[in-house]
Amino acid sequence: MGVATASFLIFAAAQVGTPGPANMALMATGAAHGLRAALPFVAGVVVGKQIVIWPMGFGLLRLAEAAPGLFAALKWAAAAYICWLAWGIARSRLAQPGRAAAPPGFAAGLWVHPLNPKAWAMIATGFTAFTAPGTPPLQATATIAISLFIVQIVLHPVWTLGGDLIGRTVAGTSAERGVMIGLAVLTVASVGVVLLGGGT
CA atoms within 13 A on the CB side of 184: 19
pLDDT at 2 over 80: yes
CA atoms within 13 A on the CB side of 150: 13
Closest CA to 179 of 31, 36, 38: 31
- How far CA 1 is from CA of 5, 8, 38, 53, 147, in Å, comes to 12, 15, 40, 19, 17
Does the pTM exceed 0.95? no
pLDDT tier, 81 (very low <50, low <70, confident <90, very high otherwise): low
User: What number of other Cβ atoms are within 10 A of residue 128's Cβ?
Assistant: 9
In what helix (H) or strand (E) does residue 174 lie, and over which residues does it extend?
A: none
What's the pLDDT tens digit per position in 105-164? 999 999 888 887 778 878 888 887 888 888 888 998 999 999 999 999 999 999 999 989
Contact 9, 147 (CB under 8 A): yes
Closest CA to 109 of 34, 18, 32, 39: 39
What's the pLDDT tens digit per position in 105-122? 999 999 888 887 778 878
CA dist., res. 92 & res. 95, Å (int): 9
pLDDT at 5 over 70: yes
